[in-house]
Chains A and B, each alone.
Chain A
């Protein structure tokens, strides 16, 4: 079975631009979570979606938004990019929204903001 896939692998943007990152969960998984990992730190929770509804939101500004589609894939959008948004963006899928369900992480999208 394919694991969690994310696209693109790498992305370079300039300040003020907008970016869309994509995630396809493992087949049968209905929950997708997004994390931001700045170099040298652990991943920080951004959003969780389950059955197309937002189930959790971390401490991130409104420039960050996400959605989940009927096929359970998800997009993370970041508007008005700042230099500090440079990070590895990780997507994780799980069968349900319960935290005790094992989360399977994708390889991430490396975003560089210049």
Chain B
């Protein structure tokens, strides 16, 4: 499974868009990009996943570059409840979590 690189932490103002980057330069053709988040003291929560095309759901948008070597998770209007650790995962057969990005949404 390909390795991912994410910033250790990010801050975002409440109501603004939060853009979380992820590098996965060794991704192979059959590997999906997944995003999960973990709010303190809870189990991880699925956000979104994609293979090649950009994806959007009720929680977020996922933008994958054409060469698939990087992606960005966008939370369009961040709230205080979005403060969490966000994990970018690339894989085909299992989820391999890294350290993730700590997103702090501030009022």
Q: Footprint of B on A, CB under 8 Å?
A: 4, 33, 35, 41-45, 48, 56, 58, 90, 92, 99-100, 102-108
B48 to A, closest residue via Cβ: A102
- The tally of residues in B whose CB lies under 8 Å from a CB in A reads 20
Among B34, B94, B96, B100, the one with the most A-chain Cβ atoms within 10 Å of its Cβ is: B94
A45 near B44: Cβ-Cβ < 8 Å: no
Q: Is the interface of B mostly helix, strand, loop or mixed?
A: loop
Known contacts A42-B87, A42-B100, A99-B32; is-contact A104 B95 (Cβ 8 Å): no
Query: Given the complex of chains A and B, what is the CA–CA distance between A80 and B2 in angstroms?
Result: 33
Known contacts A41-B99, A42-B98, A105-B45; is-contact A99 B93 (Cβ 8 Å): yes
B92 to A, closest residue via Cβ: A99
A103 contacts which chain B residues (CB < 8 A)?
44, 46, 95
B95 contacts which chain A residues (CB < 8 A)?
33, 43, 45, 99, 103
A43 to B, closest residue via Cβ: B97
B99 near A105: Cβ-Cβ < 8 Å: no
Nearest CB in chain A: distance from B82 CB, A? 18
B93 near A42: Cβ-Cβ < 8 Å: no
B46 contacts which chain A residues (CB < 8 A)?
102-104
